[in-house]
Amino acid sequence: MSQSINQLEQQFHRIAQLDHASTFLGWDQMVMMPDAGNAPRATAMAELASLRHELLTAPAMSDWLDEAAVELDTGSVDASQANHVAEMRQTWQQAMALPAELVHALVLAGSRCEHGWRTQRANNDWNGFLHNFREVVALSREEAQCRQAQAPARFATPYDAMLDLHCTGDNQALISQVFSELKAALPELFQQVMQKQASVPTKDLGGHYSIKSQQAMSEELMRLLGFDFSSGRLDVSIHPFSTGVKGDQRITTRYRKTDFADALQATAHETGHASYESGLPEETQFYPIGRARNMCIHESQSLMFEKQVFLSRSFSRALIHLLHQHLPATKVFNSDDIWYAQTRVKPSYIRVEADEVTYPLHVMLRYDIESALINGDIEPDVIPDVWEASMQSYLGLSVNGDHAKGCMQDIHWTDGTFGYFPSYTMGAVNAAQLSATMKSAHPNWQKQFASGDIQFLLNWLAQNIWQHGSQYSSQELMKRATGEGSTATHLLAHLKSRYLDEID
C-alpha cells in the first residue's frame, strides 16, 4: 500500500465517522427528538459539517492525491487502485469547488426561501416566493458555473455539474435521450390504460386499520423482502425515509387509520434503499469507492422493491395471507382486488401521489424547467407559464393558477437542490431494465414471487449491483448487469405489460 493512499484512507475514515454521527443525529431529529432539541441539534450538526469540511479540504489532501496520481502513473501502485483514488479525488474536488462565501450565501438564501415557501405555498403566493427564489437561482447558477469550470472536460453544460452531485455519471445528454423516448410514448399510453381500466370497477380499500396491526404487517413485509431486524429498525416519521450505515439501517414509514396500502408501499420502497446500503462492500465501507453509486441507481433499488416486487400481481398473492392475518378487515378482498385498486392510473397534479405510468411525466416537466433554469435559458418568472403549458401537453390538466398544486408543490428547488428530480425516473428506468434481465435469468420468477420467495432476486441484486459500490460508473454498472446502458425500452415494456396486458 502506498503511503499517500494510506493517508487518504485514514482521512476518509475519520470523515466517515463524522458522517456516521450526522446520519444518526439526523435520524433522531426526524424520528425521536423533542421540539426544544432543535436549536442545540442544529448547532451540533453545523459544527460536524464544518469539521467534516475541514478534514476533506485539509491542505495535505491535494498533496496526497497528487502523490497517489504519480504513483499510479509510474506503476508503483497497482492499477486496481485507480478507481479508489479517482473517487476520493472527485469527493475532494466537489468540496473544493465553491468559494466559502458562495457556500455561505447559498445556505442563507436556501434556508430563507425554504422557510418562506412553507407559508407562501399555503397562500398561493408565487410573487412572494419568486422574490426569494430569484436569489436561489442566481446563486445556484453561480454554483453550477464554478463546478463546471473546475472540470470542463466532464461537464458539457452547467446543469451537468449539478447532476454530478446526485446523478453522478449520468449527464444531461443521456437523461434527455432516455426521457425523450418516454415522452414520446407515455401520454398515449396512459390514455390507453385509462380507457381499459374504465370498464373495470375497482373496490375501495378504505376502512379502519389499527396502527399497531399495520406496523406488524409492515414488519412482516420487510422480513419477506429480506430485511434483517438485527441490523435495522422501522419507525414512524412525517415523510418516509431511509438512512443508516452498514449494519444499522433505519427506515421509516407513516400510517393512516383509513388506509393500509400507502404505508406498505412506502415501507417496500425504503426497504429497497436500505437493502442496497446493507449490501455495499464491507471492506471499503468508509471510502468513496464503497458508497452507493448514485441516486439513479439508489432509486432503482427502492423502485425494484416497491414497483417490481411489492406492486406485482404475483407478489400480491404472497402478501394476501399476511394481510388477512394482520388486518382482518381486508378479508373482504382477494389479492387481485388489492392489485387492481393499487394499480389505477389517472393523471393528477401532485407528483408524490402520481401512479407509476404518469409519474415520469411529472419528473420530465421539472427536468425541462430546472435544466433550462440552470443553463440560463429561462428565468424564474416564467416557471408558472411553462408549468401550465407542460401540464396541459403531458397530462391534459390545468393548474388554473393554483401553484400549491403546481410549481410550488415540491421542496427541492427551494434550497437550491437542482439535478435531483431526474433520479426518480432514471431509477424507474433502471429498475425495469434490471428486472427484465433478472427475470429472463429466472424464468420461474412469477411462481417464486407468488410464494413470497425473492431470495433469488436479492442474490442477483447483491451480485450485480450492491457489492460493486462505486467501483464502476453508473452506465458501466448497468451494462455489466444488463448488457446495455440505461434505456427507456424496458420501463415502457413493463408499463404496457402491467397496465395494458395486466400481467404482473
Cβ neighbours of residue 84 closer than 8 Å, sequence gap 6 or more: 5, 284, 287, 289
Scan for cell 469550470, then name that residue: 149
Q: How far is the CB of 51 from a copy of itself (least distance, A)?
A: 7
Catalytic residue, chosen from 71, 114, 220, 270, is: 270
Report yes or no: 220 and 322 within 8 Å, Cβ to Cβ: yes
Q: Which is nearer to a copy of itself, 198 or 238 (CB)?
A: 238
Residues at the contact surface with a copy of itself, assessed by CB under 8 A: 13-14, 17-18, 20-21, 24-25, 28, 32-41, 43-44, 47-48, 51, 228-233, 245-248
Structural Rg of the chain based on CA atoms: 23
Q: How far is the CB of 227 from a copy of itself (least distance, A)?
A: 11
Confirm whether 87 is a catalytic residue.
no
Q: Which is nearer to a copy of itself, 47 or 353 (CB)?
A: 47
Q: Which is nearer to a copy of itself, 21 or 329 (CB)?
A: 21
Q: CA-to-CA distance for 289 and 477, rounded, in angstroms?
A: 13
Q: How far is the CB of 50 from a copy of itself (least distance, A)?
A: 8
Which strands sit side by side in the sheet containing 232-236, from one edge to the other? Answer: 232-236, 248-253, 242-245
Q: How far is the CB of 250 from a copy of itself (least distance, A)?
A: 9
Q: Which is nearer to a copy of itself, 245 or 309 (CB)?
A: 245
> What is the CA 295 to chain-centroid distance, rounded?
5
CA 220 to each of CA 258, 319, 399: distance values in angstroms, whole numbers, following the listed order = 20, 9, 40
Q: Which is nearer to a copy of itself, 39 or 198 (CB)?
A: 39
- Main-chain phi, psi angles of 235, to 5 degrees: -135, -170
Q: Which is nearer to a copy of itself, 55 or 397 (CB)?
A: 55
Scan for cell 435559458, then name that residue: 377
Q: How far is the CB of 54 from a copy of itself (least distance, A)?
A: 10
Exposure string over 218-231, b if 16+ CB within 10 A, otherwise e: bbbbbebbbbeeee
Dihedral angle at the C-alpha atoms of 475, 294, 448, 270, nearest 10 degrees? -160
Residue type, 482: T
Q: How many CB atoms lie within 10 A of CB 131?
A: 14
Q: Which is nearer to a copy of itself, 32 or 493 (CB)?
A: 32
Q: How far is the CB of 11 from a copy of itself (least distance, A)?
A: 12
332 burial via Cβ count (<10 Å: 0-12, 13-18, 19+): exposed
Scan for cell 455495499, then name that residue: 280
116 burial via Cβ count (<10 Å: 0-12, 13-18, 19+): middle
DSSP 417-432: --S-THHHHHHHHHHH
Q: How far is the CB of 116 from a copy of itself (least distance, A)?
A: 25
Query: What residues act catalytically?
Result: 270
